[in-house]
Structure 1
Amino acid sequence: MGNFIRSGAFEEMLPASVRCHSMRLSKRLRLLDNEINELEQEISRHSVEDENYERLMKIPGVGTLTASALVATVGNVSSFKNGRQLAAWLGLVPRQHSSGGKQQLYGISKRGDVYLRTLLIHGARAMVRHLNPRRPISSWIRRLLSRAHKNKVIVAVANKIARIVWAVMHKKVDYDDIHLIR
Structure 2
Amino acid sequence: MSHSIYGIDLAKHSFSIHGEDHQGKVLIHKTITRSKVLETFANIPPAIIGMEACGASHYWARELAKLGHTPKIMASKYVAPFRTGAKNDLNDAFAICTAVIRPSTRFVRIKSADQQAILLLHRARDHWVHERTALLNQIRAMLAEFGIIAPKGRHALQTAIPEALEDGDNPLPDLARAIISDCFGHLLILNQRIADQEQCFDMLVSRSRQAKKIMKVAGIGPITATAVIASIGKGEQFDKGRDFAAWLGLVPSQYSTGGKPRLGRITKKGDRYLRTLLVHGARAVIASLGDKTDRLSLWCKSLVERRGFKRAIVALAANNARIIWSLLRNETEYQLI
> Which TM-score applies when normalising by structure 2?
0.48
| Structure holding more helix per residue | 1
Q: Deviations over 1:46-65 (max 9, x none)?
A: 33222111112111011121
How far apart in 2 are the matches of 1:165 and 1:135? 20
Q: Secondary structure at the match of 2:263?
A: strand
> Does residue 1:62 correspond to 2:228, yes or no?
no
Root-mean-square deviation (Å) = 2.1
Q: Secondary structure at the match of 1:77?
A: coil
Question: What does 1:1-182 align with in structure 2 at a 5 Å threshold?
Answer: 8-10=166-168, 14-131=172-289, 133-178=292-337
By relative contact order (CA 8 Å, sep 6+), the higher-ranking structure is 1
Q: Secondary structure at the match of 1:168?
A: helix
Change (3 A) 1:75 1:9: same
Question: Which structure 1 residue ranges, 5 or more long, are not aligned?
Answer: none
Of all paired residues, the percent bearing the same amino acid is: 37
The residue type paired with residue 77 of structure 1 is G
Shift >6 Å, 4+ stretches: none
Q: Deviations over 1:5-60 (max 9, x none)?
A: 69x44378632112211221121111111111111122222332221111121110
The residue type paired with residue 256 of structure 2 is S
Q: Deviations over 1:104-129 (max 9, x none)?
A: 11011111100111111111111111
How far apart in 2 are the matches of 1:20 and 1:146? 52
> Which TM-score applies when normalising by structure 1?
0.86
The residue type paired with residue 176 of structure 1 is Q
Change (3 A) 1:141 1:9: closer
| Structure holding more strand per residue | 2
Question: Which structure 2 residue ranges, 5 or more long, are not aligned?
Answer: 1-162
How far apart in 2 are the matches of 1:99 and 1:12? 67
Change (3 A) 1:28 1:148: same
How far apart in 1 are the matches of 2:167 and 2:272? 47
Q: Secondary structure at the match of 2:261?
A: strand
The residue type paired with residue 188 of structure 2 is R
Q: Deviations over 1:56-98 (max 9, x none)?
A: 2111011121111111112121221111111011111111122
Q: Secondary structure at the match of 2:327?
A: helix
Contact 1:11 1:19 in 2 (8 A): no
How far apart in 2 are the matches of 1:9 and 1:142? 48
Equivalent pairs, count: 174
